[in-house]
Structure 1
Amino acid sequence: CAAVLAYFFWTPAAYVNYGDLIAPRALPDVRLEGIDGRPFRLHDLNKRWVLVNMSSGRCDEQCVRRHFYMRQVRLMQGRNTERVERLWLITDDVQPDPKLLEAYAGMHVARARRDVVAAFPSPTDPGDHIYLIDPLGHVMLRFPMDPDPKGMNRDLSRLLRASRIG
């Protein structure tokens, strides 16, 4: 944990992280509904780093691009790929396109309640960003609205290298 704090707070000349570091905020341990109707808990993903996208089940072009970036950034981690999960929190009752779910197989999908969405700090709409949850279940990093996958990869790679958890 000290390595993670040192990485983000000690900057000799300039900022080194791409994403916005946010004060770690614990997510509520609530029971959500998975897209398949089965119960889903955010804490089921503890012990893993989790990239999170929130949007409508309609998933517009920007949403699809964020899913693509999340998948690619996870794959870029090489031998650490298994330490990273992807989560799509759907913020409405719209059923997502089955082709989209098939294209991004392996991504966890659940419907988000308002209290869960509110736990993700954002200057605008939380659905405008990709977030990173640490293995202890804290939201800690927010990537820009239209993220650069190389910057995301650099941040995540450094965290995985510095962290002994997850």
Structure 2
Amino acid sequence: MTVHSLPLAALDEQQRRTWRGRLQAALILLVCVAPVLASYWAFYVARPAGGGAAYGSLIQPPVAMPDVVATDLRGASVPLRSLQGQWLLVVAGPAACDAACERRLFMQRQLREMLGRDRERIDKVWLITDDAMPKAELRQAMDTPPAVTMLRLPQKVLAAWLVPASGHALADHLYLVDPRGDWMMRMPASPDPAKVQHDLQRLLRASSWWDKPGRPAR
């Protein structure tokens, strides 16, 4: 039996079921993204008291975290998307971390602590772009609680997700990723910690009604 031979009533019911399915899928998508969109609106449009222009560069549209598998320093596989569910403050670059890299990692730690009780909503991540091993004293510092999540991800994979400002290298910035796994902000090279803190506080305040500490059960 072809579609053309179906009774009109049956054809109408089939079309209604198709449209209901599409509407339900659209509503589910809206429910998933609405909280994030609302917090961005509150941050960039409503601008709560003490606001003003953001210090970091807003990424429009946000760039979804790639569905790839990274490795930890022991060589174990770690799906990158397992990091979803928390805000992520990301440093990226080679294992041979120079003085500027060490300053970014130190700033990453200090910024999280400066957030007070909201610090539990943000994780520190170092994405290492080569196969070398960071020096022992740096690894020890990164493992000091609350530890930095250190994962290896090839440069070409990472470069398709996080993009530096014109004239800069990938390693020059701090990158902010929202709990959905979307890269949504890039901090300037050699940033002012107080201004970065202000951006983070405003974003966390704007998203506090839907984002809570810890990753939801999967």
Provide TM-score, normalisation by structure 2: 0.71
User: How far apart are residue 96 of structure 1 and its match?
Assistant: 0.3
What are the within-5 Å matches in structure 2 for residues 30-49 of structure 1? 30-49=68-87
List alignment gaps of at least 5 residues for structure 1: none
Deviations 1:68-88 (A, max 9, x none): 010000111111111110111
- Kindly, what percent of the aligned residue pairs are identical? 39
Q: 1:136 to 1:120 in 2, by over 3 A?
A: same
* 1:54 counterpart (92, 104, 107): 92
Deviations 1:121-151 (A, max 9, x none): 2223222111000000000000011011111
Q: When you count helix as a share of all residues, which structure comes out higher? A: 2
Provide TM-score, normalisation by structure 1: 0.92
CA distance in 2, matches of 1:43, 1:57: 22
Q: 1:9 to 1:127 in 2, by over 3 A?
A: farther
* 1:127 counterpart (152, 167, 171): 171
1:145 corresponds to 2:183: no
Structure-2 residue corresponding to 1:112: 153
**Aligned with 1:141: secondary structure?**
strand
Q: Which has the higher contact order (CA 8 A, sep 6+)?
A: 1
Rg comparison, structure with higher value = 2
List alignment gaps of at least 5 residues for structure 2: 1-35, 213-218
How large is the RMSD of aligned CA atoms in angstroms?
Answer: 1.7
1:3 corresponds to 2:39: yes
Q: Would you say the 8 A contact 1:32–1:41 is kept in 2? A: yes
Structure-2 residue corresponding to 1:165: 211
Matched residue count: 165
